[in-house]
Every structure is written in structure tokens, then in C-alpha cells.
A and B are shown apart, each in its own frame.
Chain A
Amino acid sequence: DRAPGGPMSMMHSGISQAREYDDPPGLHEKTEYLLREWVNMYHNASAGRDSTKAFTMFVHQMNVQGILKTDDLITRFFRLSTEMCTELCYRAFSDQSNPSPSLVRAKCFHTLDAYVRLITLLVKHSGDANNSLTKINLLHKVLGIVAGVLLRDHDFRSTEFQQLPYHRIFIMLFLELSAPEQVLESISVQVLNAFCNTLHILQPSKAPGFAYAWLELVSHRVFLGKMLVLTPQQRAWGMYAQLLIDMFKFLAPFLRNVELPKQIQLLYKGTLRVLLVLLHDFPEFLCDYHYGFCDVIPPNCIQMRNLILSAFPRHMRLPDPFTPNLKVDLLPEITQAPRVLTNFASMIQPANFKKDLDSYINSRSPVTFLSELRSNLQVSNEPGMRYNIPLINALVLYVGTQAISHIQTKGQAPSMGTITHSSHMDIFQNLAVDLDTEGRYLFLNAITNQLRYPNSHTHYFSCTLLYLFAEANTEAIQEQITRVLLERLIVNRPHPWGLLVTFIELIKNPTFKFWNHEFVRCAPEIEKLFDSVARSCMPQKPS
């Protein structure tokens, strides 16, 4: 697709052609005439089912006007038509004599829907019936043109920008191209691809004035269904994950600063709703891409992350974490690794750091690797942005998965006894001791992001976190571990299973002497909180 001359290059040429103005004389008038003709024909009762009769006549007219002579003229025709349609919407909005908002909308839809049908028919009928490449190329071209006109309009009008015409064109075109027809079904994956590429190009950080419409498009039930259910072999899952990542990236700087202006709150709420739909209907999707999502969601967005981390495969039955004497290591699922569809190993950069890491994991030397670890993760001295968070996340998961396979090759299973005294645990213990508060918070969060449904990662990292607590040389580390777990539990549901299991083990198992620590009783409301958690998960709290 990305090859020169492929559909993506059609889209990019469409985008750049949206900025050209040197039209041949008379083309503007011809386009205006043709578009008006088409809108009339589309709304006429004699247009035939799906406007096919009208279309045959219209193609003849386009020929007479010479529009279909060259690709360049066709491109210009689409650009001018898109501009005319959007202009018309701006005029309808500014016309104060319009009696009601729904009539203004109806007026806009009158033209936009006709234009969308024209695009659909031209795409369907371009090339031979079996020539899908011509159709796909044309679709990419048109989407590129509409995206290009949008971006230019967005820059040019700034806060006066209206998302409606573009929103309508994209969604209606998508619905038309999703109709149950053989011609369309044979190109459905490429159609999805084209729309995903367009949405990625128009992501909220590129066109913030289009962000609400963008989220509506991404979460539209037909779009969601096509992306996550109807496309075989989950071939569209990766593309859909990319779109969600686009949204998380846009929200991240605002969310991490907590003070959210109303317009961001609105978008955040919408994103949470999409996540709830996904958690309910497509939990496996959230499971597979949790790593990539958690990598871009700021550490303080606890509920958002909990939604993602609470997802578990639908066929699984999770044992109640509050069951007395729950034996986690006896669950059959605990030996199976979860699917992680992000290549996290490749995110450990630069290459020589990865080389040193691998060599330390294998040989447990040199010790200087550990002492230099902190400087490899640190990127600046600015408080709050000292560390390379994606690198910490990648390092933690990579070392953990290496540890699991190391233990398994020895014929053992990860447990509190087998995870210790290894190069992997050296790295984790070193990070716990050597990092400052900020770094340790990020490190512990990276571990806690793996506490999900019963699987080998959950089990390994649960043991690791408890081991780090037990072996901590200062109370500060223990307090921070408690903090990371607790702050994910005091928010509203859902709570990931592995998180609950780990926390319950910590407060229940006397070997951790949890209740002897100062910080448990540092404030009356904290103490009360612990008491209530304790009451809910064990019959009698040790006093």
C-alpha cells in the first residue's frame, strides 16, 4: 500500500491537490453547473433505485462538458465540488433568515448527500467490474481531496471552522460503501483501510476543530462493527488501535495536568464511553493492545487505564479475588502468556543499550550496567518529565518476559521462590532502590500495568511486586508500592483482577507485616480506608 503509486500515494496527491488553484478557465462554472444538475437529478423521483438511472444520464453530461477527459480534470472537479458543498453549508449557517436549526441541517444534507451518492457511483463504476484497483485508487484520491480541503479550511477559518459538512461526507460515504453489494464487498478491507488512513491523517492533534466529529466517526456503530467484527482474521484491529492511540496522544498533555477545560472534559467523556463499549463488546481487542494504549495514557489517568487493564478474554471465568485461600498458582491459565501485539522489545533504544541489557541478562555482569541503568532512562532534569516513560515500560515488560522464559526453560514455574536471585531481579531491585521518587513511581506503574486477568505475566509481576515489597530496604519503597496499588483500587470500578489479587495478598499474608508499617496509619482517613478494604477481603484483620 505504501509503495510508490499505491493507494496511499493517491491519497497524498489528493491532499496536496486540494491546495492548487490554477484551474483552467471555465472549469469553476462547469463544475457548479454539473453539481447543481446532479443535486436536482438525485432528488428527482425518476432517478431510479440508488440513483442509477440519473447517474447514466449524468455521466453523459460530464462527458459532454469534457470533465472525464483527464485524471487532472476529474481531480479538480472533485476538489471544486467539495469546496462548493462546504461553502453552501457555511452560507446556510450564516443565513439568519433560516427559521430553525433542523431546516439549516436539512438544507446542507440536501446537497451533501447528493454529492456523496455521486462519489459512491463514480467509485463503483470506475474501471471494469472486476478492476478493484481503479476503484480503490479513486476512493483514496477523493478521500485525500476531502481531507485536504478540510485541512486548508481548518487553517484558513480557524475558530470559524465548521465540522458538519466534512463529518457528513465521511460518514455517509462510509455507509454507502458499506452497503451489502458484491462489488463493494470485494473491496471492503481496502475501503476500511482508506477510511482509517484518512482518519489518521485528520487525527485530533492535526485538526482539533474536527475532533468531536472525528470521535463520532471512529465510534460509529457501523464503523466499529466493520473494524472489529466483520473483517475476517482481525485484520483491521491494528488500524483501529492506531486511531485510539491518536486520541490518547491528543488528550495526554491535558489529562496529565488534571485541570481540564470543559471542551477537553467532553472529549474525555466520549473517549471513556468508547472504551466502555469496547470493554463490554470487544474485551479481547483491549487485551491485545493494552500495552500500546497504556504507553500513551498519562500515569495519573487511573480509571481510563483500569478500563483497559480490566479486559479479559470472554471465554475465561475469573475466580473471585476475595475467595479465602485462593491458590493463584494452581489456576490453569496462569502458565499461559497473554498476547501482546506491540513490539515492545524494539522500543528498547538505542541499540547498544539493548545489547548491554541482553548481555547483562545472560551473564549477570558487568555490575556497571546496573549503576548506569538510571542514566539510560533519564532524559531531562525537569521535575515531572525526567524519564523516558515508554522506555521504562518496554524495559519492565521485556525483562519480565525474559525472566518467565528463563524460569520455564529450567522446568520451573514463576513463583515467589523461583523469581529471585537472577539477573532479571537484579535489574528490578536496582530500579526500586536507585531511582528517585518520580522514577520509582513510573517503574512501579509499569509493573502494575501487567496485573490483569490470570496469565503468566500477571502472575510473574504480582510475585515481583510482592517480592520488591518484602525485600525493600526502606519504608519509602513499600509506601510507594502500596500507593500505586491503592490508588488504582480507590477509584470506581472496574478493577483489574491481578491488581486485586496482589493487593489482597499484600494485606493478608502475614509475611509482609503490612499492618506494622507507619504509613498505614499516617492519617485517620487512610487508616479507615485500609480497614474497610481489609474488612471486605478477610474475616479478621490481624491487630
Chain B
Amino acid sequence: GVAPLGPVPLTKNCFFQSQMLEASSQHMPHPSDSERLRLYFPRNLCPTPSYYPQSLPNCDSLDFFQRLSVETLFFIFYYMEGTKAQYLAAKALKKQSWRFHTEHMMWFQRHEEPKTINDEFEQGTYIYFDYEKWGQRKKEGFIFEYRFLEDRDLN
């Protein structure tokens, strides 16, 4: 750079400011400082070689989430609470006819047409995702009460 007007001696105050800035540059703000607390994966920044992908284009669109496997979607749903990713995962799951049960806190999908359907519930065989055993399970004769059906419009 050039200083067409020539350098000007810095004031004492400028030296103080520079010193305070230097000290605080030793502990810079971290990306997580301005994010909601991530319980399961705190941000853990580390240098990665440039020949590894540094970002994914378009990865916060519903389109992208619909191409993920259900396992991935369940993972995002349970481990990234309160984020846009969780919202998009829930949306993608609903599009694949998964329904969230608010008492069991698990996702259910009809395995076949229910044996019974009335105003309060439906009953039949369901596939559900067990977040404790971390896998899909089948349940026969399950009663899905509609009052536990999460049916908010995710738009």
C-alpha cells in the first residue's frame, strides 16, 4: 500500500487501542458464540486440507434433504435440535409419509392399510424408528391416537 499523505504519528490512545485489540485477538469470537447451544455436536473447527470438500453447495434446500436416506434424516432430527436442518429433515420425512408421534417422540410409517380407522385413532401394523436402539422396527396392532399426531403445517 501507499500513504500519499505520509504517515502520521499514532496517538497514545491508538497504541492503547492496538494493544487491547492484540490481546483480544488471542481469543477471537468463535462461530458457536452466536449460535444456540449444540448439545450433541459442538462446533469443532480444525484445518482440513484443501483437497477435501470445504462446503456443500445448496445443502440447505428441501430438495437436498429429500435425497438423503431416512437414517440420515432421523439422525438430523434427533441430533440437531432447533435448527433449520431439523426442520427440513422433518419436512422431508413427512413427504415420505412418516408421521411423528408426540408421546413416543418417534416417527411412524404405515406398513399396510390400517385395520381400523375412526375419528380418534387408527390401528394396524407400522414401521417406526427407535432412536434408542437406533434402527427401524415393526409393530403389529399398534394404536396411533390422533391426539398424539404432530400435524403442524411445516410451511
Contacts and interface: CB of A to CB of B under 8 A. Distances in A.
B17 A205 contact: yes
A36 to B, nearest CB: 19
- Chain A's interface size range is 35 or more
A262 interface: yes
Main secondary structure of the interface of B (DSSP, over half): loop
Contacts of B29: 163-164, 167, 212-213, 216
A104 to B, nearest CB: 10
B23 A253 contact: no
A172 B82 CA distance: 14
B4 A299 contact: yes
Contacts of B8: 253, 256-257, 382, 384-385
A266 interface: yes
Q: Which of B3, B11, B44 is packed against the most chain A CB atoms within 10 Å?
A: B3
B16 to A, nearest CB: 7
A171 B33 contact: yes
A261 interface: yes
B27 A164 contact: yes
Given A102-B43, A105-B32, A105-B42, A162 B27 contact: yes
Q: Which of A208, A299, A384 is packed against the most chain B CB atoms within 10 Å?
A: A208
A250 interface: yes
B20 A209 contact: yes
B3 A263 contact: no
A161 interface: yes
Interface in A130-178: 154, 158-164, 167-168, 171-172, 175
B61 interface: no
B140 interface: no
A167 B5 contact: no
Nearest to A222: B34
Nearest to B9: A257
A484 to B, nearest CB: 9
A128 to B, nearest CB: 30
Interface in B16-44: 16-25, 27-30, 32-34, 36-37, 42-44
A161 B23 contact: yes
A216 B17 CA distance: 18
A216 B34 contact: yes
A425 to B, nearest CB: 26
Nearest to A382: B8
B10 interface: yes
A175 B23 CA distance: 28
B1 A258 contact: yes
A383 B6 contact: yes
Nearest to B34: A171
Contacts of A171: 33-34
A158 B33 contact: no
A398 to B, nearest CB: 23
B21 A264 contact: yes
Given A266-B25, A441-B5, A254 B18 contact: yes
Contacts of A102: 32, 42-44
A204 interface: yes
Contact of A113 (B5, B6, B20, B37): B37
A164 B23 contact: no
5 contacts: A105-B30, A113-B37, A208-B20, A216-B29, A216-B33
Interface of B: 1-8, 10-11, 14, 16-25, 27-30, 32-34, 36-37, 42-44
